[in-house]
A and B are shown apart, each in its own frame.
Chain A
Amino acid sequence: MPTNPTLTATSLRAASMRPLQSCLLALVVAATTGCGATPPAWFRSNMVEATKQKLTPDQERQVATVLLAMFGTPDDPVAPPETGLDVAKLQLAAGPVRSDIVGRKNGLYREHCAHCHGVTGDALGPTAAFLNPYPRDYRPGVFKFKSTERADKPTHADLVRILENGIPGTSMPSFALLSETQVDALVEYVKYLSIRGETEINLMRAFFELDDEAEGKLPETREFLVGEVLEPVAEKWKAAADALIPVPEIPADLDLEASIAKGRELFYGDKANCVKCHGPTGLGDGQANDYDDWNKSIVEWKKELGGADDASWLSRAKQVLTGDALEPRTIPPRNLRMGIYRGGRRPIDIYYRVHAGINGAPMPAAKGTISPEDIWHIVNYVRSLPYTLDGELGADRPALVRDRF
């Protein structure tokens, strides 16, 4: 069972409730629903990772305790200075939804994000099972759409852009109606959840490297917890701003038609080989049985379970797969003729996708194998695909596709 680090907070809250209110609530709620009041929000443990690492309940508790001390609770987040996170912004985004007399709203994450991404950022919010693709699980610290190299974290501006524009073709909406301060606070909170989640994974994996003298317990020293576990994660986020993908300027005298023709050649060529997944028609009808990293980890774990001989662990693992993971789904390659660009429709966004690939997805990076100039040609070709020869949108219709070829 995952531990509930906010249990103490619940008790305190219940104790501070006035007797009359408590009696009224108990009467009304018991009479009408027969169930108790809603428990306060709490961070779920990463049970998939804990079970994979075969942690004991004591070890799970130790991880939960360390995380509670480092990051606080969903209602009262704290951030170690090493993370560089702004606690004031976190407090604006955290906690239950409420606002003051001038309309300043707190609890923004709970209001706008938690129903899909979950209170913990584990993509296990109530609505998650309905969404296709599933919402992003922040805990592995992997983000798809960014202006940084594949293995790097996104910049603050990247996440702001995603919130403002949403992700077309998915359930991620645009939050353009929120104020700049609110979007900023939400981005900070997403980073907080991601750092917390990645720290949790690192802590769980650290048990595997313990020597016999440790007696199955992690050293609770600042040097280990902050220096070895937290800081490597936090540093990657801090370094994101300096890891921007260099983008060469588009030549002013570029012949667009020639560029598109060159891009087409690359698209079908062995070097870029875009056709392998996106298909000969660009309809995304190439190789379509691959998974993204989040789903792949579950698929591979399920395969591992087939060879497991520890019956009690196996039964626990199956329980975790049912309650703490969603049924894996394949990720179809993008249909490039629909004119829907999840990571942004600007030419530079498509350049980033081709250059660095999509982190966490099968889309590979062209960096190193294709020159920046050729990447621009591919970008121009890809941007031409949704259009028919007469310049109208709608090339995804099969009849029109035949015309193009």
Chain B
Amino acid sequence: MATSAESSAAAPVNWPAVVAWTLLATTAVLLSFGALVTTYDAAMAVPDWPGTFGHNMLLFPFAEWFWGPWDLFLEHGHRLLGATVGMLTLLLAAIVFSGRSSPTLRWLVAAAVVLVVVQGALGGLRVILDDKTVAKVHACTGPLFFAVATAIASIASRRGRGADRAADRPSHDPAREVAAPPPPSWALGAAVPTVLLVAAYLQLVAGAQLRHADATLAPTTFRWMVILHLLGAAAVTVLAALAVVAWQPHEPPAARRWSRVILALVVCQSLLGAGAWVFTWGAPAWIQEAWPVAEAIRARSPRGAMVVTAHVLVGMAILGSAVAMALEWGGMERLERLVGAAPRGRSAPPRAAAGAVGRVA
């Protein structure tokens, strides 16, 4: 029996996974900077693009950026991180397309390359045209890229488990499929992970419309946008609770873990949403009746900025977790079918197959 040291020495480094996780982590930091840029209205702290105050963006003096004004620190930092994410995505594409990666992973990485280019261009146009509509689109593409990056990291990591590629899986054995437990009878439960994923993304889109609302927008329009965001929050909460309830013992344990993580995040997100409301508009009159506060709220306070920004980031975390859960919960098979990578003739439903594959691997 090989020792653990021997087996780790023998195992080749899973470079797609290493780069994918680095990309995901960098994207998380990039999104944090992006959220802060919006919170502090710092998008126009640098008036030119792709340069920074006439310098090549990458050669802008470090000290001037790092010790400079806060808005410049955020905006230029966001750009540097964006460039890093772009380069990491290209590196990942080079690794994935030159190796033996699965078609699913290749498709996702190709999508990431397209998205990162579009997102970079949108960021540039937002600055050059100083346009809020472009800013809104930029804010919707960011989470989309994050979702794809999460899927890539999740799938690339499976290679170690032998689950990312149809080719890596054990040969098609009808006997194993027959042995797989039956799918849940509750059809709604089967759709919950996908619907939750879509709802989490749409909720981020709705939030982006509120954060980038133009000052010329009519109050009635804005009111409907807020109502939509609140309804979206209710929908995500119900779906997160359903995901916890819908999980059944024969389904992947990882999916259950993710469903619990999402529910916890949703609870946290609701509190942050209420906090964001209070830090933006003050406590409603009925709350003030119960807890009178003699001081006015402080605009642009670090605490307020933190709560508002955290609300965006936890929204991203919910989206990322929803992607991971959906992949564990039959989404991987759906993706493979979508890109034509699933082995033909598989008759078992995706969730049952996922369970079987998981056990075999």
Chain A residues packing against B (C-beta within 8 Å): 17, 21, 24-25, 28-29, 32-33, 35-39, 41-42, 96-103, 105, 107, 110-112, 114-115, 118-119, 124-132, 165-178, 322-323, 326, 335, 338-341, 345, 396
- Which of B140, B217, B223 is within 8 Å of A32, CB to CB? B140
Q: In the bound complex, do residue B128 and residue A126 qualify as a contact, i.e. CB atoms below 8 Å apart? A: no
Chain B residues packing against A (C-beta within 8 Å): 41-45, 47, 53, 64, 68-72, 118, 121-122, 125, 128-134, 136-137, 140-141, 213-223, 226, 280-282, 284-285, 288-289, 292-301
Q: In the bound complex, do residue A39 and residue B216 qualify as a contact, i.e. CB atoms below 8 Å apart? A: yes
Q: Which residue of B lies closest to A166 (CB)?
A: B296
Which B residues touch A341, using CB under 8 A? 294
Q: In the bound complex, do residue B44 and residue A96 qualify as a contact, i.e. CB atoms below 8 Å apart? A: yes
Q: In the bound complex, do residue B44 and residue A38 qualify as a contact, i.e. CB atoms below 8 Å apart? A: no
Task: Give the top 4 A-B pairs by smallest Cβ distance, nearest first.
Answer: A103-B69, A166-B296, A126-B222, A114-B215
- Which of B41, B72, B130, B131 is within 8 Å of A111, CB to CB? B41
Which A residues touch B220, using CB under 8 A? 129, 322-323
CA distance A57 to B299 in the complex (A): 40
Which B residues touch A28, using CB under 8 A? 118, 121-122, 125, 134, 137
Q: In the bound complex, do residue B218 and residue A126 qualify as a contact, i.e. CB atoms below 8 Å apart? A: yes
Q: In the bound complex, do residue B215 and residue A125 qualify as a contact, i.e. CB atoms below 8 Å apart? A: yes
CA distance A99 to B41 in the complex (A): 10
Q: In the bound complex, do residue B285 and residue A127 qualify as a contact, i.e. CB atoms below 8 Å apart? A: no
Which B residues touch A115, using CB under 8 A? 213, 215
CA distance A338 to B7 in the complex (A): 70
CA distance A111 to B299 in the complex (A): 11
Which A residues touch B299, using CB under 8 A? 112, 166, 173-175, 177-178
Q: In the bound complex, do residue B72 and residue A103 qualify as a contact, i.e. CB atoms below 8 Å apart? A: yes
B326 to chain A, nearest CB (A): 23
B92 to chain A, nearest CB (A): 24
Q: In the bound complex, do residue A174 and residue B281 qualify as a contact, i.e. CB atoms below 8 Å apart? A: no
Q: In the bound complex, do residue B69 and residue A340 qualify as a contact, i.e. CB atoms below 8 Å apart? A: no
CA distance A339 to B220 in the complex (A): 33
A4 to chain B, nearest CB (A): 11
Known: A129-B219, A129-B222, A176-B298. A99 touches B69 (CB 8 A): yes
Which B residues touch A102, using CB under 8 A? 69
Which B residues touch A323, using CB under 8 A? 218, 220
A17 to chain B, nearest CB (A): 7
A217 to chain B, nearest CB (A): 30
CA distance A176 to B295 in the complex (A): 12
B223 to chain A, nearest CB (A): 5
- Which of A105, A167, A340 is within 8 Å of B71, CB to CB? A105
Which A residues touch B133, using CB under 8 A? 29, 33, 35-38
CA distance A130 to B281 in the complex (A): 8
Q: In the bound complex, do residue A103 and residue B70 qualify as a contact, i.e. CB atoms below 8 Å apart? A: yes
Which B residues touch A107, using CB under 8 A? 44
Which B residues touch A99, using CB under 8 A? 42, 44-45, 69, 71-72
B153 to chain A, nearest CB (A): 25
CA distance A97 to B43 in the complex (A): 9
Q: In the bound complex, do residue B72 and residue A101 qualify as a contact, i.e. CB atoms below 8 Å apart? A: yes
Give 10 new A-B contacts, CB below 8 A, not counting A28-B121, A126-B214, A323-B220.
A37-B131, A38-B131, A98-B47, A112-B299, A127-B281, A169-B296, A171-B297, A172-B296, A175-B299, A340-B288
Known: A37-B133, A174-B298. A130 touches B140 (CB 8 A): no
Q: In the bound complex, do residue B137 and residue A32 qualify as a contact, i.e. CB atoms below 8 Å apart? A: yes
Which B residues touch A345, using CB under 8 A? 294
Q: In the bound complex, do residue B134 and residue A37 qualify as a contact, i.e. CB atoms below 8 Å apart? A: yes
